[in-house]
A and B are shown apart, each in its own frame.
Chain A
């Protein structure tokens, strides 16, 4: 059974700092990995998707990497801003499971002024 863990559970940083969020998964037979952000009481917004054959994806100040063999992914946020405050979730899709995602526990990020 796939298990996805995110460390740390919560993080508070001052504005302008670069930061790294970690995601680990137990079964390396994944099809892709997706990072989402969730604002309180809201749905999920897709940030980046990495296919199993890829090593990283970039979008603006965000960079996600994937090391499938070691079961790890990182989300790097450069020059953090207060608007980045949210919960960040990673999710893996196992090969052959259509749209079923297994989500991590999330990292709650607060960026302070």
Chain B
């Protein structure tokens, strides 16, 4: 069973540009959440999508946005990049709500991340 796939693995952008990151969840998983990891702030929650709807959002500016498609694949977009946006962006998938709530179903499975460098 394929894991969570994130593309691209590495990205280098300059300030002011925009970027789109992609995440393909584990087959059958309907929830996709995004996290930003930096040495200074650690792992911080960006947002979560379930069945194409954003159902939770972290404390990030509006430059950070996302969406989810009908096949549960998700993208996140960062516009007007700043130097401080340099980070490892991680995507995680889970069942979200069923088929039955068990400990296994509640686990989040993470991708390898996209390392974004803003110059």
Interface, chain A (partner B; CB < 8 A): 31-32, 34, 36, 41-46, 49, 51, 57, 89, 91, 93, 97-106
Contact = CB atoms under 8 A, between A and B. Distances in A.
A105 B40 CA distance: 10
Contact of B56 (A51, A57, A99): A99
6 contacts: A41-B115, A44-B90, A93-B106, A98-B48, A99-B108, A100-B56
A45 B4 CA distance: 11
Interface string B82-119: 00000010101010100000010011111111010000
B90 A46 contact: no
Interface residues on B, range: 20 to 34
Identify whether the interface residues of B are mostly helix, strand, loop, or mixed.
Answer: strand
Interface in B1-46: 4, 6, 31, 33, 35, 42-45
B108 A46 contact: yes
Contacts of B94: 99
Interface string B51-66: 0000110100000000
Contacts of A32: 103, 106
Contacts of B88: 41
A16 to B, nearest CB: 30
A59 to B, nearest CB: 11
B42 A106 contact: yes
A34 B113 contact: no
Contacts of B4: 43
